[in-house]
Structure 1
C-alpha cells in the first residue's frame, strides 16, 4: 500500500520533461560530433548515462528523502574527502584537475558536491528554522559551504564554486535571512568584485584565480575588435552560429558552422549555439521553455512539501538547474564570460548528467513522500 501511495504522488510531468530533454541531448550530441572520429563514442556514452540516470531517478524517488537528513554529515565528509583526493591523484584536463578516471568513466566529484551541499544546507536550515537568524547562524552555514568550496577552487574550478555559493545564499534567503544582511551581502559582493577587477587590471596575482580565468574575464570586458583567434574565437563563432539559425534553423545536421567544425566544444559548453543553428529561435525557445517547466515543477514540489527539509531540497535543485541554464545560455550569447557550466540535461557529460538526475530523483522523492501533495 505504501509503495502504491509513493508512486501515486510521483511527478510524472517532471520525469517526462527530463526524459525528453535527455533524449534531445543525445540527438544534439550526435549532430554536433558528426564526422569526428575522436568523439565517435560520445553518443553511446551519453545514451548509457541517460539510461542509468532514469534508473537513478526512480530508485532515489523510492527512498524517503528524510533518510538523507541523518546521513548529511557523512555525505559532507565523503564529499570533502573526494575533493581532497582529486587534488592529489586526479586527472588534469583543460588546465585543471577535476576527474578521477575509473576505466572508461571519468568521475567529477565537484558535480556531486553540488547535490551534497544542497542536502547538507537543507538539513542545517531546516533544523535551525526556529533559531535567531543572526551572524552565528550565517557563520555556521558559511563554514560548511566554504569548507567544501575551497577544495573545488583548488582544482581550480571557479564556476562550480560560484554555483555552490549561489545555492548557499539562495537557500539562506529562503530560510529567512533578514533584509539588513541581504543589503550587507550586496554591498560586500560589489566591493569584493570591484577590488578583484582592480587587482587583476593591475596585474596582481589573486589567490584561487588562474591566468586563463583572468584572460576570460579580460577578453569579455575588453574584447579586442581585431582579434580573430585565441580566447575570443569561439565566442565569435558561437554568435555567428546562433545568427545562422534564424527563426526556424537550417535543419537537423545541416548547420554549416557545426558540421564544418568552426564552432569548438560544440557538444558541451556551446551546444546551445549548435541547437540554435539547426532549430533556430523557435526551436531554442521550445527547449528553454521545457527547461523552465522543469524548474517550475521543482518549485511546485518545494511549495507543497510537508516539511522544511524537503522544501529546501526542491528549492535547491530548482536554483541549480535555473542558474546553470541561465549562465550557459548567457555565455553562448556573449553576455557573460566563458565559465564551463553545461546546459542541463543536454550538454555531453556523464558526471554533470548524473548529478542533475540525482537531484531530480530527490525532488521526486519529496513529491512522492509528501502525502499532502496533489498533482
Structure 2
C-alpha cells in the first residue's frame, strides 16, 4: 500500500504545483490590468489556503477514519444551518449569496458542503451492509438527506455547484448498490423537475443566458470566453510558448481560476495539458484501487472512492468548459484553480480519505 500512497501523493503534488505556478503566471495578466495589484497576490492567498488545508487534513488524519463517518450527522446539521445563514445574510455578488467576507478573504461554504455530502451518504450506505437494496434506502432516503444541502446551494443561487452535488449523490447511489431500474425512475423524475423549474422561472436569467450563449456558439455565434480559451489552447502547440509567455490570458476572464487550463495549454502546450489530465485519471484510479483493496469499512470505502470520482468529475467538467464542450459553469479545476475554499475543502477531503485508508481493521459504522 505504501507505494500506491506515494504514487497518489505524486499525482496530487503535480496538480498542486501546476496550480501554484500557473496562478502566478495568470496573475501577471491581472497585474497588467489593475493598478496596485501584484502577480504574487493570488499565489500568496492560495498558499495560505494550502497551509490551512494541510492543518485541517492533519487533524483529520489523526482521527480514526470510522469516526468521521460516525460524526457525519454532526457535520451535516451545522452545514445545513450555515448554508441557510449564507442565503439569508451573506455578501451578495452579482445577485448570488455564496460568500462570507473575512477581511481580504472570503469563504464559499458550498465547497465544504460537498465533502459533508460525501460523508453523510457514505455513512448511510455503509449502514446498509447485509440489507436488501430497496428504492427507499438506495434512492429516496439519500435524496431526502441530500435535499437541504443541494436545495440551499441552488437558492444561493449556485446552479453549477448544485448540479455537481446531484452528480455526487448519483455516484454514491451507484456505488451504494442502487438498481438500474431505480436510477431510471430517478432520471425521469429529475427531467420532470427540470422542466418545472424552467416553466416556473426558478432558474435565474444569467444561468439561462450562459446556456443560451453556449448553444448559440454551436451555431456559429462566438462565445467570448470559450473562444479565447480555445485560442489559447490551440496556440500552445506541443510544448507551449513558455512559462509566463502566454498572451491570450491578458484577454481571458478568470484565467487564474475557471480558465486556468487554457493558460496551461497556451504556456505548456499539449505536454502540460496531458500531464494534468493524466494526473486526474491516475488519481481516481489509484485512490479507488487503494480503497477497494485495503479499506474494510464499507462506508469508508464508499467515501474514498466517491471522493476520487468527485475530483475526477469536477476536473472533467472544468476541462470540458475550457474545450468548449460545456457551457461556462464557474466550477474550479480541483487542486489547480485559484480559490481558497475549494483548495481547503479538497485537501480536507484528501485528509479524511487518508484517515480512512490508514485505519486498519473491520470496524463498521454502527
TM-score by length of 1: 0.88
Q: Which residue of 2 aligns with 1:337?
A: 327
Structure 1 position 68, deviation (Å): 1.5
Q: Which residue of 2 aligns with 1:106?
A: 106
The residue correspondences of 1:1-375 to structure 2 (distance < 5 A) are: 11-37=5-31, 38=34, 40=38, 41-137=41-137, 138-189=139-190, 195=195, 204-207=199-202, 209-223=203-217, 232-258=223-249, 261-304=250-293, 305-370=295-360
Q: Which residue of 2 aligns with 1:3?
A: none
Kept in 1: contact 2:54–2:348 (CA 8 A): no
Match of 2:239, SS state, is: coil
Cα distance in 2, alignment partners of residues 226 and 105 from structure 1: 40
Cα distance in 1, alignment partners of residues 279 and 2 from structure 2: 23
Query: Which piece of structure 1 moves more, 215-224 or 317-326?
Result: 215-224
Structure 1 position 95, deviation (Å): 3.6
Match of 1:101, SS state, is: strand
Cα distance in 1, alignment partners of residues 166 and 156 from structure 2: 16
Kept in 1: contact 2:53–2:348 (CA 8 A): yes
Kept in 2: contact 1:87–1:155 (CA 8 A): yes
Cα distance in 1, alignment partners of residues 307 and 218 from structure 2: 38
Query: Which piece of structure 1 moves more, 25-34 or 54-63?
Result: 54-63
Structure 1 position 144, deviation (Å): 0.5
Kept in 1: contact 2:150–2:162 (CA 8 A): yes
Cα distance in 1, alignment partners of residues 279 and 3 from structure 2: 21
Kept in 2: contact 1:26–1:43 (CA 8 A): yes
How big is each residue's C-alpha offset from its partner over 1:129-182, in whole Å with a ceiling of 9 and x where there is no partner? 333322321211111011211110110001111111111111111111112112
Kept in 1: contact 2:238–2:271 (CA 8 A): yes
Kept in 2: contact 1:306–1:370 (CA 8 A): yes
Cα distance in 2, alignment partners of residues 285 and 16 from structure 1: 15
Change (3 A) 1:284 1:60: same
How big is each residue's C-alpha offset from its partner over 1:350-373, in whole Å with a ceiling of 9 and x where there is no partner? 00001111111111112211359x
Change (3 A) 1:59 1:18: farther
Match of 1:223, SS state, is: helix
Structure 1 position 17, deviation (Å): 2.5
TM-score by length of 2: 0.90
Match of 2:162, SS state, is: helix
Structure 1 position 60, deviation (Å): 1.8
Cα distance in 2, alignment partners of residues 35 and 273 from structure 1: 14
How big is each residue's C-alpha offset from its partner over 1:17-50, in whole Å with a ceiling of 9 and x where there is no partner? 3233212211101111115345532111111222
Unaligned ranges ≥5, structure 1: 1-6
For the aligned residues, what is the CA RMSD? 2.2
Cα distance in 2, alignment partners of residues 273 and 324 from structure 1: 16
Unaligned ranges ≥5, structure 2: none
Cα distance in 2, alignment partners of residues 185 and 364 from structure 1: 32
Cα distance in 2, alignment partners of residues 220 and 115 from structure 1: 30
Change (3 A) 1:20 1:224: closer
Match of 2:57, SS state, is: helix
Kept in 2: contact 1:10–1:368 (CA 8 A): no
Change (3 A) 1:94 1:33: farther
Kept in 1: contact 2:64–2:355 (CA 8 A): yes
How many residues get paired? 354
